[in-house]
Structure 1
């Protein structure tokens, strides 16, 4: 099996876990591809072999890799979207972060997880992606989001007005700090903290969640993912922010944005001992009562 390992520089405390990952991959005789940014972190560390192939972009791994293994948190998995693109390479994440909805493998279960991966004891969990277009172009070939696309006012600026259209029909004008368009995957991220609902994967919809709306009767809504969303922004300031997952750009007020489902999806690997419901229960601590502690 050919496995690409993706991660960003870490603090020294996680080195033993990274070393364990590479030792397990070598033990299973996998062909290892390592992202250049991660390689710059491990290349001078003791106990790491340089017997691997380096990669940096989509062109380096398309058709050459079977699995993408990420080391970090959910943000690390989000960072793979622009590298994997439409290649169909499935992703599994080992969680070095905190919550870990997407990077669901605990760092204490590395050996068992890699054994299950090599022996193909997993299923693929297909997740839809969002695509944002604008004139002028903003994110270019990095315009795909797994979690959400957000329009947000800058710092302590006055509230903005976002005029929203659904399939070119006027939907609403949102006055407030901004608006979030979330996939079902991203419904447990920023949208959830702003009062949005939890949406199960494969539900076939998006969530539109206002951020601190001025009109309190404005609430999150769910729309079919086959719809096209268009947003026009009014602001008393010269610019505002648009985020595509972890990528953020400053935009002037003349831009119009179109958001719709991307033409391809992302495959997350879910080991056979995992399910979406168990992840929700564990990460959101459902059923636990603080009064018992």
Structure 2
């Protein structure tokens, strides 16, 4: 069996758990592929990387059975770009902070690998959004698991985002920006801008303004079968386009088309792991500081 591993940060706290992971995979005769980014970090540690192969992120992930992300949700989002349309299942090991997507605690690594080889897991299919325009954008990685955002490039003047749904005019948002989020991304940037928490499998998209000039403008939930078109006005004639953690400078002459992607992300989950439990744990729902 072949398994790929990606991470983008190594510290003394996480090294023992990375060692546990490598030992667990080696004991199961796994051919390990490590991303070039992660390998360059690990080679300075005291971990043995004998027998491990390197894959280059610019080329995408090789043909493997599973991909393992070690870090926080940002690392898992990066792993999604390596996997792309191949839909290789991803296991997220959380050595970060919040971890809505990377839900396996680092001290449960060995148990998780044992369950993986015993096939005691299920796939959590998550919708992505894709972006298209008349010109090539996003270096070919025109998809996102959490959200797509247009935001002002300058620090002062707001932008105007003209939004259309299925060809029908929705609104002209005078704001710092506009977020189009998947249900998965509803607990991310959209939430911090006042957007709703949406169940991951609800077949919706969320349109959330960033610091709108008109305070009556509120987030809007639409069907993920919708096609959303955006045209941006800016004094600088440029704006920033963000797909999850990847940002690009775009000219205002570019019209953007956003819709549900034709492929999904397959997250590996174990018994007891579900969205409602994660909400309570990560957002501290039900806790009272007075107790």
Corresponding residue for residue 182 of structure 1: 181
CA separation in 2, counterparts of 1:118 and 1:30?
11
- How many pairs does the alignment contain? 291
Aligned to 1:50: 50
Secondary structure of 1:291's match? Answer: coil
**1:273 positional shift:** 2.5
CA shift, 1:45, in A, is 2.1
CA contact (8 A) 1:187 1:199 kept: yes
CA shift digits 1:45-90 (9 cap, x unpaired): 223132122212486645x311110101000111022211111211
- Given that 1:58 and 1:85 are in contact with CA atoms closer than 8 Å, whether structure 2 keeps it comes out as no
Residue 81 of structure 2: SS of its match in structure 1? Answer: helix
Q: Deviation per CA, 1:126-156: give whole Å up to 9, x if none.
A: 0010111123222131111000000111242
Alignment-derived partner of residue 133 in structure 1 = 132
1:9–1:37 Cα contact (<8 Å) kept: no
Match of 1:249 in 2: 248
2:7, 2:37 within 8 Å by CA — same for their partners in 1? yes
- 8 Å CA contact 1:58, 1:84 repeated in 2: no
Do the aligned partners of residues 150 and 61 (structure 1) sit closer, same or farther apart at CA in structure 2, a change above 3 Å counting?
closer
Residue in 2 that maps onto 1:20: 20
Query: Distance between the aligned counterparts of 2:256 and 2:52, measured in 1?
Result: 41
- Please give the root-mean-square deviation of Cα atoms over the aligned residues, in Å: 1.5
Which whole-Å CA distance do the structure 2 matches of 1:167 and 1:77 have between them? 31
Give 1:222 deviation, angstroms.
Answer: 0.6
Separation (CA, whole Å) in 2 of partners of 1:45 and 1:27: 21
Counterpart for residue 289 of structure 1: 288
Residue 4 of structure 2 is aligned to residue 4 of structure 1: yes
Question: Which consecutive unaligned segments of at least 5 residues does structure 2 have?
Answer: none
The question of whether the paired residues in 1 share the 8 Å contact of 2:154 and 2:236 is answered with no
Is the CA contact (8 Å cut-off) linking 1:5 and 1:33 kept in structure 2?
yes
Residues of 1 paired with 2:19 and 2:289: CA distance? 37
SS of residue paired to 2:263: strand
- Cα distance in 1, alignment partners of residues 273 and 184 from structure 2: 16
SS of the residue 1:78 aligns to: helix
Contact 1:162 1:174 in 2 (8 A): yes
Query: Paired residue for 1:207?
Result: 206
CA shift in 2, pair 1:140/1:46, >3 Å: closer
Whole-Å separation in 2 of the counterparts to 1:60 and 1:262: 18
Normalising by structure 2, report the TM-score: 0.96
Please, what TM-score do these two structures have when normalized by structure 1? Answer: 0.95
Residues 239 and 58 from structure 1, CA distance in 2 versus in 1: closer, same or farther, beyond 3 angstroms?
A: closer
Any stretches of 5+ residues in structure 1 without a counterpart?
Answer: none
Three-state SS of the structure 2 residue aligned to 1:290 is: coil
Q: Which moved more, 1:147-156 or 1:184-193?
A: 147-156
3-state SS, counterpart of residue 272 of structure 2: coil
Shift, 1:41, TM fit: 1.4
Compute the displacement of 1:202 (Å). 1.6
**Which residue matches 1:146?**
145
CA separation in 2, counterparts of 1:204 and 1:58? 31
Contact 2:9–2:71 under 8 Å retained in 1: no
Distance 1:104 1:155, change over 3 A: farther
